[in-house]
């Protein structure tokens, strides 16, 4: 456990939130006009998820949202990041919206505002309408234009009440886990398609940001959430440094290059030339992608440690992104991933707050003047109620304390960090891991769907109410 440290105070305007996503918590997958997303199809395909788990019911947030918002208010949260289910509001991915679907999000937003909680709306957290996947999915250019139209429709409906907007959540996962390694929906394993998907996700972001600005008040803030990796070489050997650069390009540069700098890294194009010729990047695309942002969301869990594979042979892919015979790193089969030393969460991810500090300082340099938010950070543990019926999770408290301390240190060192969203508010459907990994600050009994705040929820709520990060005593 950490040694005692001095309490520190965060800026008074700092946002203290929690995050969720639609498919992971809502359930009600066949209600009010909603049609299947790629995750409905994927989770109902035998062998794709642990235990055959699906999000059909999830934690029934669709019917219990008022209670969940009341719980957020009780805990003292000042912000809540949620995602809109695309097939709930535009079932085929094209054409008019279904008002019954939009009405759910209207009710949710109104409930949040009535409780003094700032809504942060993510337009896409991986639930592509299945009909668009049948037409080619993200490797198909038209999907980017369909997304922009969807963004405009949601912006028109909610832009008067929601001020913080996020276009895409972790497009790296959508592109490379969905179309490269196949461990995420739609489960395709085509390296060239994964790079096309990445470009069209970038294009979708730029088009959607412009569409939102055309229909929303100027005060609204438009951002994107990237799971930017902190990629470290195993040694200072030039081959290991080169390997880290290649993974950094595929994890980070493929998105922040065009978004922040208006171009893909030349080193990325060169390293992937054997996979694709990038001919789908048309004139004007990078200008469209390079639309000005109001803020940047960063999701962080653990750093990556890589080296060149010895003897020119491919190394094992211990990258923390699920088991597959196919790699999510196109053109980098000769890079070996290593488990970083230290304590690990139930996901097998090493706990290393220094990576979060490094990430914040990196983007302070990459995009000077651009406000930053931690839009996801958290840990999965094997949480269980004790004899007293309470759920004590001291490991999560220690995890949160140390990562929040890293955020505060980054602010002191010049990073303009405006808020922190804990992942996650509730235990939920954890994608291909099913219900086997609990990230929530609130425990959910999956049999009864009863919610029980864990000790970490109470601890985090006190930090949120006071803005003070206390010292952690041994044994907490």
Q: What is the pLDDT along the chain (476 residues), one digit of tens a residue?
A: 444 557 999 999 999 999 999 999 999 999 999 999 999 999 999 999 999 999 999 999 999 999 999 999 999 999 999 999 999 999 999 999 999 999 999 999 999 999 999 999 999 999 999 999 999 999 999 999 999 999 999 999 999 999 999 999 999 999 999 999 999 999 999 999 999 999 999 999 999 999 999 999 999 999 999 999 999 999 999 999 999 999 999 999 999 999 999 999 999 999 999 999 999 999 999 999 999 999 999 999 999 999 999 865 555 477 999 999 999 999 999 999 999 989 999 999 999 999 999 999 999 999 999 999 999 999 999 999 999 999 999 999 999 999 999 999 999 999 999 999 999 999 999 999 999 999 999 999 999 999 999 999 999 999 999 999 998 654 33
Alpha helices in 159-237 (DSSP H): 171-172, 191-215
| Residues 203/159, Cβ–Cβ less than 8 Å | no
Residue 312: the pLDDT is 53
Catalytic residue positions, numbered: 170, 376
Compute how many other C-beta atoms are within 10 angstroms of the C-beta atom of residue 313: 9
Q: Please give the model's pTM, rounded to 2 decimal places.
A: 0.97
Alpha helices in 335-468 (DSSP H): 353-366, 394-412, 455-466
At 468 the three-state DSSP class reads strand
Query: ∠390-394-396 over CA atoms, to 5°?
Result: 105
Residue 311: the pLDDT is 66
Instruction: Please name the residues in contact with 134: beta carbons below 8 A apart, sequence gap of 6 or more.
Output: none
Residue 6: the pLDDT is 75
């Amino acid at each position: 456990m950490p040694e005692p440290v001095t309490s520190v105070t965060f800026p008074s305007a700092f946002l203290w939130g929690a995050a969720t996503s639609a498919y992971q918590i809502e359930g009600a997958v066949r209600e009010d006009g909603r049609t299947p997303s790629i995750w409905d199809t994927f989770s109902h395909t035998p062998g794709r998820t642990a235990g055959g788990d699906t999000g059909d019911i999830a934690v029934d947030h669709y019917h219990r949202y008022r209670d969940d918002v009341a719980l957020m208010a009780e805990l003292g949260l000042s912000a809540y990041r949620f995602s809109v289910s695309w097939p709930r509001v535009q079932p085929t991915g094209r054409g008019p919206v279904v008002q019954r679907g939009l009405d759910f999000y209207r009710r949710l937003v109104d409930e949040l505002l009535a409780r003094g909680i700032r809504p942060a709306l993510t337009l896409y957290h991986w639930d592509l309408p299945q009909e668009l996947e049948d037409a080619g999915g993200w490797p198909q250019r038209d999907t980017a234009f369909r997304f922009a139209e969807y963004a405009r429709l949601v912006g028109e409906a909610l832009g008067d009440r929601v001020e913080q907007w996020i276009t895409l959540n972790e497009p790296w996962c959508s592109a490379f886990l969905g179309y490269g390694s196949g461990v995420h929906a739609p489960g395709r394993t085509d390296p060239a398609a994964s790079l096309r998907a990445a470009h069209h996700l970038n294009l979708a972001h730029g088009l959607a940001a412009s569409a939102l600005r055309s229909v929303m008040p100027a005060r609204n803030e438009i951002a994107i959430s990237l799971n930017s990796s902190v990629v470290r070489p195993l040694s200072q050997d030039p081959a290991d440094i080169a390997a880290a650069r290649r993974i950094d390009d595929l994890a980070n540069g493929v998105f922040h290059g065009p978004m922040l700098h208006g171009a893909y890294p030349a080193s990325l194009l060169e390293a992937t030339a054997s996979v694709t010729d990038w001919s789908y990047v048309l004139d004007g695309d990078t200008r469209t992608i390079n639309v000005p942002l109001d803020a940047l969301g960063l999701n962080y869990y653990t750093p990556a440690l890589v080296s060149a594979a010895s003897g020119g042979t491919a190394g094992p892919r211990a990258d923390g992104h699920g088991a597959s015979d196919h790699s999510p790193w196109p053109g980098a089969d000769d890079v070996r991933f290593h488990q970083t030393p230290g304590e690990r969460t139930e996901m097998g991810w090493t706990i290393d707050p220094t990576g979060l500090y490094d990430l914040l300082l990196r983007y302070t340099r990459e995009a000077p003047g651009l406000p930053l938010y931690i839009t996801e950070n958290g840990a999965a543990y094997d949480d269980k109620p004790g004899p007293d019926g309470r759920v004590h999770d001291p490991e999560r408290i220690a995890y949160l304390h140390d990562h929040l301390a890293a955020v505060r240190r980054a602010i002191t060192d010049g990073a303009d960090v405006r808020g922190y969203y804990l992942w996650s508010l509730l235990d939920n459907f954890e994608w291909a891991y099913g219900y086997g990994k609990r990230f929530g600050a609130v425990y959910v009994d999956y049999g009864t769907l009863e919610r029980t705040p864990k000790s970490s929820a109470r601890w985090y709520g006190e930090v949120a109410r006071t803005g003070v990060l206390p010292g952690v005593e041994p044994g907490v």
